[in-house]
Amino acid sequence: MWLSRLISGRKGAEYTKTTTALHNKGTGDLIKGDRTDSKTSGGDFTVKDSSAYDFLWTIKSFSKLPTGNESKQTSGRFEAKGYSWKLTLYPNGNIVNGQISLYLMLSRAASHPTEAVFKVSYELFLFNQKTGSTLSQKGENLVQVQDEMGFRNLIDLKSFKESSNGYLPNESCMFGVKIFQVIPIQTNTECLQPVEKISHEHTWRIENFSKIDKKKSHERKFTAGDYLWSIVIHPEGDHKSDIKVKEKNVSLYLYYNGSIYDGSSTKVSAEFSLTIIDQIGGNHKKKTYTEVFKCAHPGWGRKDFISHKDFNDPTLGFIVNDTCIIEAKVAVLALVK
């Protein structure tokens, strides 16, 4: 028996301003940048003072990008301050739709151990290609390799697409990043602040189960008290699983997406259970755990939650009338800082 944690960085923790607090979620301070020395040529936007940025990322044909809940675009790796980085864009928001979500990921730190922690100060930019000015947000966070840091609402999608704003002329947009400082942290510390335990339940009925794409993961988002969560199922097994698990089991996880309040802690200790309901005999498949969740590594659950043999056995009642029912029960025990 083993418990697996998703190290995908799929929904990065969001941080704001230039404080040193760990995992502070929010939209940050919007900063209208000074006009850059720029020019346009043949419809392409050029930043003459490109040395002021560590990386510039242009995306063309924006309307052709997928806009599903899990759709994202990732830049190539770039080097800055002696480390490797990537930018990740969610063109329709990674938690709330109708937003541009932009994140910076620490991709590699070759000279440091895997579990090393770094304090990173940075600024993310969106260029106004009509005026040469920038819209930007600053952050300072504690992260590990493969963690994402940034902003789920860099700008709302309507404002981004408004032609008079100049962010998306000719279906082309440009983002930038400046990394100010990266400091390795020698000691990893935590502060636990207990909160009142209140349990919340959410039921997900997946109808027409035989018609869903089994090779993809499927997600149901829900709110439990002051916190945002997701149930994620991989009908054919988590693609990160080894061959002994993949395609032989159903993988099931609970994801943590942060607090509904931008200024609240985005790292919590929670007690939770995941259950696939036996709709015939009541012999449900249930797993219960207590774990610490953080947005950059949100998922806890099992790669081998239930075998395909049992899950698809019509006598066991996990799929009835082509419907699968999953229940999540979660209670936050403490904020972790």
Around 122, how many Cα atoms within 13 Å sit in the side-chain half-sphere?
32
Contacts of 264 (CB under 8 A, 6+ apart): 25, 226, 335
Predicted local confidence at residue 36, as pLDDT: 38
CB contact at 8 A, 18 and 31: no
Residue 245 pLDDT level (bands cut at 50, 70, 90): low
Do residue 47 and residue 24 come from a single domain?
yes
Are 111 and 250 within one domain?
Answer: no
Residue 26's pLDDT is 30
Q: Of 153, 185, 217, which residue is a domain's last?
A: 185
Q: Is residue 8 part of a domain?
A: no
> pLDDT (tens digit, 9 = 90+) per residue, 96-118?
788 999 999 999 998 888 778 89
Same domain for 244 and 219: yes
Q: Is the pLDDT of residue 29 over 80?
A: no
Q: What is the mean pLDDT of residues 42-58?
A: 80
Both 107 and 50 in a single domain? yes
Determine which of 102-106, 258-262, 305-309 has the lowest per-residue pLDDT on average: 258-262
User: The domain containing residue 146 runs over which residues?
Assistant: 13-185
**294 part of a folded domain:** yes
Residue 125 is assigned to a structural domain of this protein: yes
Instruction: Check whether residue 181 and residue 197 sit in a common domain.
Output: no
More confident residue, 253 or 3: 253
* Residue 216: inside a domain: yes
pLDDT, position 19 = 25
Give yes or no: residues 56 and 179 share one domain. yes
pLDDT at 180 over 60: yes
Tokens standing for residue 220: 């149901």
- Do residues 216 and 170 both lie within one domain? no
User: Per-residue pLDDT tens for 161-171?
Assistant: 999 999 999 99
User: Are residues 174 and 230 located together in one domain of the fold?
Assistant: no
- Whether residue 58 is predicted with pLDDT greater than 80 in this model: the reply is yes
Average pLDDT of the residues in 177-183: 96
In the predicted model, is pLDDT for residue 9 greater than 90? no
CATH code (residue 144) = 2.60.210.10
Question: What's the total number of domains in the chain?
Answer: 2
Domain boundary among 185, 203, 227: 185
Higher pLDDT pick, 93 / 207: 207
With 80 as the cut, is the pLDDT of residue 126 above it?
A: yes
Residue that terminates a domain, selected from 185, 203, 222: 185
